[in-house]
Amino acid sequence: MPRTGAARYLPILDWGRRYDGAMLSSDLVAAVIVTVMLIPQSLAYAMLAGLPAEVGLYASVLPLIAYGIFGTSRTLAVGPVAVVSLMTASAIGEIAAQGTATYVAAAMLLALMSGVMLIAMGLFRLGFVANFLSHPVISGFITASGLLIAASQLKYVLGIPAGGGTLTEIFAGLAGTIGQTNGPTLAVGLSVLAFLYFVRLRLKPILVGTGLAPRLADFLTKAGPVLAVAGTIFATSLFDLGERGVALVGAIPPGLPVPAVPGLDLELIRALAVPALLISLIGFVESVSVAQTLAAKRRQRIIPDQELIGLGAANIASAISSGYPVTGGFARSVVNFDAGAQTPAAGMFTAVGIAGATLFLTPLLAELPRATLAATIIVAVLSLVDVGAIRRVWTYSKIDFSAMAATILGTLFLGVETGVVAGVALSLLLHLYRSSRPHMAIVGNVPGTEHFRNVERHSVVTCPEILSIRVDESLYFANSRYLEDRIAELTADRPELKHLILMCPAVNAIDASALESLEEINHRLGAAGVTLHLSEVKGPVMDRLKRSHFLQDLSGEVFLSQYQAVQKLSGRPPA
């Protein structure tokens, strides 16, 4: 359905009108499941971002409501996610120390900037910018982020004061302080890791084996992290772990934050501009690809430009409620979808659930070991590491692989932003390099047809007076000089040559530089007594050529098809 008027920018007007009791009960069930999953995740990702744990809860209330109003996906679960949390830590780590008020304020500002950028991209239809992040770059970045995050959390599992932003720094930090490992912390961390892996890999079949309904068994496995949180809070008070050197989350201020606009410091805005843009783009790409996959399963559509506005609104909502950058999460959205969420109302109900948890459960969280959250993060992010994708790209294309490898190595060893920027820059440069040396084939007629193919790959008919060259690329500044050189090479040593036909079905554009080169080629061939012809020139290219003098100056003709060209120039139909 084409959306128009207010419903174009407020999708809630569309689905809200048809909301009924069946949808309500589906959405409520999904909301309960997602809430249970989101409580430990939001605490853990805030910690990963270098923020107090409660900031994760704040980022899981208003943003979900804002996305519900403006977003076009029925099932996307918005909130704190691992990769964006890592990028937040990396961006603000340069500017302020963790634990300071400046750090928290910078996170709010980052969310605000990201929100404004996303909305601006949505309003000005600039979503295509995200296309410059190629699949291999994104997939490499996610894999590298997973590894980096997992490594960065080891210090909490060991209870040591290591630090560092890159893999080298992290391992140097771990190696330097591993002697200070805290036994009780390690015990908590390893227990939680073991428990979570057991739940993830083994629990469901066991529960189903005991006769439990698969759906309920599924729900219980999603509750693993919450059970780990509850269990380790209980263990903390039972064994007085806080006194034994186990780092705890500590007191969380009661209640919900009062909405407020983050302070606008120009200096800070300048420093955060590039990270905010990268967070916006990566967050958008990830979110849209989840949303698209889920929408396709139910034959629904999402509108990318409106998604930008939805995610932008969510980030602005996060900024004014003391949160930090958010986006659509992969695992959580899949759970939301599987749990039967029908509309964005499910996300709104989740927001209510998180608000309730913030109001009533935070006193309990003071006793939560940080090692529990670190273990939760490790288990979650290791599933982001996709070795199969690396192998597939390696097999398919070494060029794509090199962009992927640059992203992975850059992210791991030079930093998160450097990794993404290096990957994007390399993929663009390699694309330009490839198109600057286009494939050119001498073609001949496939006998019995009007079709022409490469003489080196097919058994075709040619004639010594006519050379047909197919150029497999748009002609533009980066390859126009190469074209001149190649044609000079291909026409040399052919004394009987009278006609050169440039077959142009793959020439999608001819820019001003290439036009000058074609004029030069026409001129040089003319001086050598060879006539230049074109065939199968596309409509838009022909329209443009008509605006120049080239067609008047061309020594030969422009033919509709290569077959007609060869028929006419050879004076007989080819064999």
Chain positions contacting a second copy, by CB under 8 A: 128, 131-137, 296, 392-393, 395-397, 399-400, 427-428, 431-439, 441, 446, 449-451, 453-454, 457, 472-474, 476-482, 505-509, 511-513, 515-516, 524, 538-540, 544, 547-548, 560-561, 563-564
Cβ atoms of 501 and 467 within 8 Å: the answer is yes
With respect to a second copy, which residue has the nearer C-beta, 363 or 573?
573
Radius of gyration of the CA atoms of the chain, in A: 30
With respect to a second copy, which residue has the nearer C-beta, 27 or 536?
536
Residue 82 and residue 146: Cα distance in Å, rounded? 8
Residue 177 amino acid letter: T
With respect to a second copy, which residue has the nearer C-beta, 251 or 296?
296
Cβ atoms of 310 and 280 within 8 Å: the answer is no
* Owner of token pair 């207010």: 6
3-state secondary structure 353-391: HHHHHHHHCHHHHCCCEHHHHHHHHHHHHHCCCCHHHHH
- Nearest distance, CB of residue 423 and a second copy, angstroms: 11
- Nearest distance, CB of residue 124 and a second copy, angstroms: 14
- Nearest distance, CB of residue 548 and a second copy, angstroms: 5
- Nearest distance, CB of residue 28 and a second copy, angstroms: 30
* CA–CA distances in Å: residue 220 to residues 196, 224, 227, 328: 12, 7, 9, 23
With respect to a second copy, which residue has the nearer C-beta, 55 or 137?
137
With respect to a second copy, which residue has the nearer C-beta, 222 or 533?
533
Across the strands, what pairs with 134?
none
SS3 call for 382? helix
Cβ atoms of 288 and 302 within 8 Å: the answer is yes
- Nearest distance, CB of residue 390 and a second copy, angstroms: 11
- Nearest distance, CB of residue 533 and a second copy, angstroms: 16
- Nearest distance, CB of residue 18 and a second copy, angstroms: 22
With respect to a second copy, which residue has the nearer C-beta, 218 or 400?
400
With respect to a second copy, which residue has the nearer C-beta, 178 or 560?
560
How many degrees, rounded to 5, is the angle at CA 528 between CA 569 and CA 554? 55
* CA–CA distances in Å: residue 357 to residues 14, 211, 335, 394: 30, 32, 20, 46
- Nearest distance, CB of residue 565 and a second copy, angstroms: 11
How many degrees, rounded to 5, is the angle at CA 516 between CA 514 and CA 518? 70
Going through 49-130 in order, the beta strands assigned E by DSSP cover 78-79
Cβ atoms of 207 and 229 within 8 Å: the answer is no
With respect to a second copy, which residue has the nearer C-beta, 265 or 386?
386
574 φ, ψ (degrees, to nearest 5): -65, 150
Given the DSSP bridges, would you call strands 499-503 and 466-471 parallel, antiparallel or unpaired? parallel
With respect to a second copy, which residue has the nearer C-beta, 382 or 512?
512
With respect to a second copy, which residue has the nearer C-beta, 200 or 434?
434
455 φ, ψ (degrees, to nearest 5): -65, -25
Cβ contacts of 190 within 8 Å, gap of 6 or more: 157
Q: Single out the residue of 58, 179, 45, 42 nearest to residue 108, CA to CA.
A: 58
Residue 339 and residue 200: Cα distance in Å, rounded? 17
